[in-house]
Amino acid sequence: MSTASKVLNGRPDVSPETQERVLRSAATLGYQSRHRARRRLPSVLMLFDDLVSPYSLAVMSGATEAAARSRQSLTVERVIEDIEPRALSKAWFDAAAARGVGGIIAVTTPLTDREVEWCAQAGLALVVVDPIGTVSKSVVSISATNWAGGRAATEHLISLGHRRIGFVDGPPTSLPARERLHGYTSALIDHGIEPSPELRAGDLYAVEQARHAGHQLLALPDRPTAIFASSDASALGTLRAATERGLAVPDDLSIVGFDDTIMARWAPVPMTTVRQPLAAMGKVAVERVVALAEDPGAFAHPFQLETELIVRETTAPPR
């Protein structure tokens, strides 16, 4: 579909500047768009697996702002994984549709293929943010450029002179976690550094678990001089482990996080981290689920927002 056609038919996947230019030209030619104004859904339901982390709060902030600006009703719920039976049954999706929900945004919330099918059968649009597990190609996903961010973090450490760089990992089922790991290993290989399994630890984006992972890495006979922790929570836990071992950051150990949440900015040592646009991810999720509810074929591909390396005070050349 041409850009002009997208604008004149109300499609949202065109920049505001381009929309304005096309509409100005159309007005000059006397053309008036015949498309209907985009409708609002009775309600959009946003699902989280966690509602206390700075990550979740930042995504929610963007979503609620987008909903408020478009006068779109937005409801937030938490899916608690250890409650049986699992909440997301076929009856759950049918009940959501019956009470007026028109679209669902699942944020770091695992969805099985069967649950995705039930969602479609209930007539609900679906968007996932930072998917967990393998997501069907038919599901629209929103995330950041995690591979590029992981690579940028690692290359920053390499540029400072570090060669022995540890990695604190996230959940094995998290697609963003796998992409950050691949970015890390790609940077190492391209700079002639052999990735070492002993320099990887951790499996959860949480401070306490990352603290244990940090101790594991720092207890190695040939410990790393730098650690890329794949979330800000993991970086904070790594920082605690270094402090408990009497290591000064960044003099004795450099640390890079990922997210750029309030954790990174207000850490005991302000953290170098990779910024992902969490609020923008929430905003785009609301816009896209509303568009999908009106036109299920509007999008059929993953949508990634750019990351950016933010250098603060936890990285320095090795001594």
285 located within any domain: yes
Q: Are residues 88 and 77 in the same domain?
A: yes
317 located within any domain: no
Output the pLDDT for position 55: 94
pLDDT at 27 over 60: no
Q: Are residues 174 and 266 in the same domain?
A: yes
Output the pLDDT for position 26: 56
pLDDT at 1 over 90: no
Q: Are residues 186 and 172 in the same domain?
A: yes
315 located within any domain: no
Q: Are residues 157 and 268 in the same domain?
A: yes
List the domain range (segments joined by +) for residue 4.
1-37
Lowest-confidence segment of 95-99, 195-199, 290-294 by average pLDDT? 290-294
Q: Are residues 93 and 48 in the same domain?
A: yes
- Per-residue pLDDT tens for 28-67? 555 544 444 445 567 999 999 888 899 999 999 999 999 9
316 located within any domain: no
Of the two residues 158 and 18, the one the predictor is more confident about is 158
Average of per-residue pLDDT across 113-139: 88
Q: Are residues 268 and 171 in the same domain?
A: yes
Q: Are residues 68 and 167 in the same domain?
A: no
Q: Are residues 218 and 203 in the same domain?
A: yes
Q: Are residues 134 and 282 in the same domain?
A: yes
310 located within any domain: no
Of the two residues 295 and 116, the one the predictor is more confident about is 116
Q: Are residues 85 and 107 in the same domain?
A: yes
pLDDT at 3 over 80: no
How far is it, in rounded angstroms, from Cα 106 to Cα 119? Answer: 11
pLDDT at 103 over 70: yes
Kindly report the backbone phi and psi dihedral angles of residue 72, in degrees, each rounded to the nearest multiple of 5, phi listed first: -100, 125
CATH of the domain at 83: 3.40.50.2300
Q: Are residues 154 and 257 in the same domain?
A: yes
Output the pLDDT for position 4: 62
Average of per-residue pLDDT across 126-142: 86
Output the pLDDT for position 118: 94
319 located within any domain: no
Output the pLDDT for position 242: 98
Total number of domains in the chain: 3
Percent of the chain past pLDDT 70, that is, above it, reads 85
pLDDT at 13 over 70: no
pTM for the predicted model, two decimal places: 0.83
86 located within any domain: yes
Output the pLDDT for position 35: 43
H helices of 70-110, in order, are 90-98
Q: Are residues 150 and 32 in the same domain?
A: no
- Per-residue pLDDT tens for 204-245? 999 999 999 999 999 999 999 999 999 999 999 999 999 999
298 located within any domain: yes
Lowest-confidence segment of 25-29, 134-138, 176-180, 293-297 by average pLDDT? 25-29
